[in-house]
Amino acid sequence: MDYKQRARATVESLERDLIELNDWMYHHPEVAFEERESSARLSAYLAANGFTVEYPAYGLETAFVASAGSGPELVICAEYDALPGVGQACGHNIIATAALGAGCALAPLADELGFKITVLGTPAEEKFGGKVDLINAGAFASAAAAMMIHPSVVDVVDPNVIAVSHLDVEYHGREAHASAYPQLGINALDAFVQAYVNVSTYRQHIYPTDKIHGIITHGGEAPNIVPDYTRSSWYVRAQTRERLDELLPHVTACFEAAAVASGCRMELIPMGHTYDDLVSHPTMVDLYAANAAALGRPMQRGANLPPSQTGSTDMGNVSKVVPTIHPMVSINCYPIVNHQRAFAAHTISFDGQKALFDGAVSMAWTAIDLAQNQLWDEL
Ligand SMILES: [Zn+2]
Ligand SMILES: [Zn+2]
């Protein structure tokens, strides 16, 4: 058997385990930086399958690093955080189990092929940006390349992934009896509503690739008390980090104007790291696309998709420090899409399991191509 056949046979032999883990993660969703059981199970599985494991790792309680072999290092990222309220609605259970499958397929080949395979457990993608902490702690310092797959409703090898900044906005006013003494109140809910309207108005005059989304997380205590405090959470996105830097002052002005109009004091609180846009490495993109096609999963190119059909990921930051790919793998359930409860349910369907298998094998085969053709330096 050649290397690719051996890798595929290993994933096939582990498929039952991987599906069980995928199901378990679906039933036990843990949100950003609280992925304690998930990270424990995933890292234990790698330890039992020939990896040297460090857990926790790089100063993060729910991060792990598992390695086998030596030589140029390929890092496969495993995400496992869920979303509040909707569970594994982004399918990070498939990301994690596909990473395990690819890693376990490559570990027995790493020494023969002269490279080091690392599966890196990367917490808190949906919030905070754990990969940025990992970059800062040196987790990618010796990496020659990095990859992961992400479930989606389209197969696209080099998706359009844009930059995002996360911030919370607080308004501080003054409480008062809403009926008897409203003239003494300063209404922090009015400030929030005005801010929301300002942003909504501004949205007409930005690029289709600029995105601004906000929710209110604290809106007051009771209707008969003038709200003295509100808090809201906002994501501001743009095609590039440069465009994001242009956009942010305008959004901030919308928040400030609301503070002035209402007489409230405003506080802007940055939440977690800013995510970079993703730059997919062309050589790795071509290799992955060819391998996925060989498995019967032809991949679209991001350039052929609607330019506003975008998301963001902290893998973007990784792509700025090491050659990276982040293919999207369809679980075939459109119009059910990411961040819907029904999408979470589809991650454990037959199509979800197929995405897990195809993602694992395609990543393993891409790694084998890189190693057999000694492309590490060229990257
Ligand atoms: Zn998501
Ligand atoms: Zn996701």
Q: How far is the CA of 343 from the centre of ligand 2 (A)?
A: 12
Distances (CA, A) of 117 to 98, 138, 287: 14, 16, 18
Q: How far is the CA of 179 from the centre of ligand 1 (A)?
A: 43
Q: Which residues lie across from 68 on neighbouring strands? A: 117
Tens digits of residue pLDDT in 18-71: 999 999 999 999 999 999 999 999 999 999 999 999 999 999 999 999 999 999
CA dihedral 188, 189, 192, 198 (to 10 degrees): -110
Q: How far is the CA of 328 from the centre of ligand 2 (A)?
A: 10
Q: How far is the CA of 90 from the centre of ligand 1 (A)?
A: 4
Eight-state DSSP code of residue 278: P
Q: What is the pLDDT of residue 319?
A: 98
Q: What is the pLDDT of residue 122?
A: 98
Cα–Cα distance between 286 and 371 in angstroms, integer?
15
Q: How far is the CA of 92 from the centre of ligand 2 (A)?
A: 6
Q: How far is the CA of 339 from the centre of ligand 1 (A)?
A: 6
Q: What is the pLDDT of residue 377?
A: 87
Residues with CB under 5 A from ligand 2 (ion): 90
Q: How far is the CA of 312 from the centre of ligand 1 (A)?
A: 8
Q: Which long-range contacts (CB under 8 A, 24 or more apart) does 339-344 make?
A: 339/83, 339/86, 339/89, 339/90, 340/86, 340/89, 341/86, 341/87, 341/89, 343/89, 343/90, 343/91, 344/26, 344/29, 344/86, 344/87, 344/88, 344/89, 344/91
Tens digits of residue pLDDT in 76-110: 999 999 999 999 999 999 999 999 999 999 999 99
Q: How far is the CA of 95 from the centre of ligand 1 (A)?
A: 11
Q: How far is the CA of 58 from the centre of ligand 1 (A)?
A: 23
